[in-house]
Amino acid sequence: MPRDFRHIVRVAEADIDGTLKVPYAISKIKGIGINLAHLIVRRAGIDPETRIGFLSDEEIERISDVIVNPSKYNIPDWYLNRRKDLETGKSLLLIGADLTFKVKTDIEKMKAMKSWRGYRHAYRLKVRGQRTRTTGRVGKAVGVKKKRRG
């Protein structure tokens, strides 16, 4: 390996393995999927076949800028993970700890307003319409008797 190879690269507050190709490395950041990662690499003007450990500091800065300012690079709103934010009304791309914090505050808000989803979250039940008759059980089995010894 050449000496300018870095085994760990810091992109957008996340440590990434330098041996991965650029789109797959970017998709390791929480909040960025593989399709968005491919789009970020295209908009940053970087070859998707290169390993992220070989990128220069300037190229990594370009990737970080695309992640931080997606609207500046004409990334459509439907690629972003927070469309029409309740506080700002803008479409945002949240990553890492910001995404985790927003999801937790959204769940707390649903619980406080006592919406149906908030109720389901509060009682630790399935939220998205999955079946609950046979799955998601906690504790002792229901409807099963153990054989008696004797």
The residue-averaged pLDDT of 28-34 equals 93
The residue-averaged pLDDT of 85-102 equals 90
What is the share, in percent, of the chain residues with pLDDT greater than 90? Answer: 71
Q: What is the mean pLDDT of the chain?
A: 90
| Helix extents (H) in the chain | 22-26, 34-44, 57-68, 97-112, 116-122
- Sorting pLDDT into bands at 50, 70 and 90, what band is 59? very high
| CATH number of the 8-79 domain | 1.10.8.50
N-to-C CA span, the chain: 70
Amino acid found at 81: N
Residues of the chain with CATH 1.10.8.50: 8-79
Q: How far apart are CA 63 and CA 12, in angstroms?
A: 9
